[in-house]
Amino acid sequence: MRMISKTFTYPVWDEWRTNSFTQGRTDTFTYNGPEFLTFEVNNDSNSEDYGKESGWCLWLKQDLERPAGADVTRITVDCKENPLLCEIGNDCGRDDMISKRRQREWQVLWDAPDGYMDVEYTEDLEPRDIYNDNNITYNFETGEFTIGVRDWAATGTKMDLTWQDLRDVRDQDLNDTDAKVGQTDAPDSIQQAWLDYRQRLRDLPTWTQEQGYEPWQAVQMWPVMPKDMREPDASSDPADPYRDGAFPVDVTVAAQKVAGKK
């Protein structure tokens, strides 16, 4: 398959993670990938996935020669004509984008007090920031693809979260860290860090409500868990050298556990 390079203009949301495009904002990007991509789309009208793209695009000869299931329709797209769709659906991967993403400048969107997680955004966008590669659908009547937006809900944010949901998870976190308080074999600095963390948990609903945040926003500004030398991977501090990747607070699952539903 011949590879091409195609620069294109695409719509940009009005604000970070919103599904609103009323301001006419645009940006440019260059697609580098196969000239044609073949999408596999569910054609079973009785399926909840009807019209949804499978998540894999084909361009290699051996993949294109592989038989498709009876519930799959293959649709080939000319990437010169629809580079945005091909950029979002393309599974080739790009080494140059890995470097670019690491070098992007991030700014504070919601500024949390010390000891809490700020929520950040970047103006140095790429199409995959805005469009959701896990939500590409095809309309068999019009013959057109639609690409979902990577808004807050698409990133896993529970938009209907209530303050009670947040408090339930907060209370569970307090319960889970009870043993961290009064560790006689721990340095005073570590004991104080856990006391501070637990106080921030108690304060979270109050200060976020006072500043006008909704519960779905507040949960993203969870207190930074302190480093515990005996459990270094448990830290959520981005500056912690012992940290093994960030962990999100999965409020949906945690709330279900508190309610005994999971």
Q: What is the pLDDT of residue 247?
A: 37
Which candidate, 20, 121, 33, 23, places its Cα nearest to that of 84?
33
Q: Letter for the amino acid at 168?
A: D
* pLDDT band of 184, cuts 50, 70, 90: low
Q: Are 14 and 23 in contact (CB under 8 A)?
A: yes
Q: Are 129 and 120 in contact (CB under 8 A)?
A: no
Q: Are 211 and 202 in contact (CB under 8 A)?
A: no
- Which stretch of DSSP H or E encloses residue 63? helix 61-64
Q: What is the pLDDT of residue 22?
A: 97
> Strand pairing partners for 223?
116
Count the Cβ atoms, other than its own, within 10 Å of residue 126: 16
* pLDDT band of 241, cuts 50, 70, 90: very low
Contacts 24+ apart (CB under 8 A), 82-86: 82/145, 83/6, 83/8, 83/31, 84/8, 84/10, 84/31, 84/127, 84/131, 84/147, 85/37, 85/136, 85/145, 85/147, 86/31, 86/33, 86/34, 86/37
Burial-class residue 250 by CB neighbours within 10 Å (0-12, 13-18, 19+).
Answer: middle
More confident position, 180 or 89: 89
Report the share of the chain in percent with pLDDT over 90: 68
60-74, 89-103, 198-212: least confident range = 89-103
Q: Are 169 and 222 in contact (CB under 8 A)?
A: no
Q: What is the chain's alpha carbon radius of gyration, rounded to the nearest angstrom?
A: 23
Q: What is the pLDDT of residue 227?
A: 74
53 DSSP 8-state letter: E
Kindly list the distances between the CA atom of residue 207 and the CA atoms of 107, 116, 160, 201, 225, in Å, as whole numbers in the listed order.
22, 11, 20, 11, 18
> Distance (Å, rounded) from C-alpha 62 to C-alpha 154?
33
pLDDT at 225 over 80: yes
> Distance (Å, rounded) from C-alpha 223 to C-alpha 237?
9
Check the CA dihedral 212-124-156-248 and report its sign: negative
pLDDT at 201 over 90: yes
More confident position, 80 or 255: 80
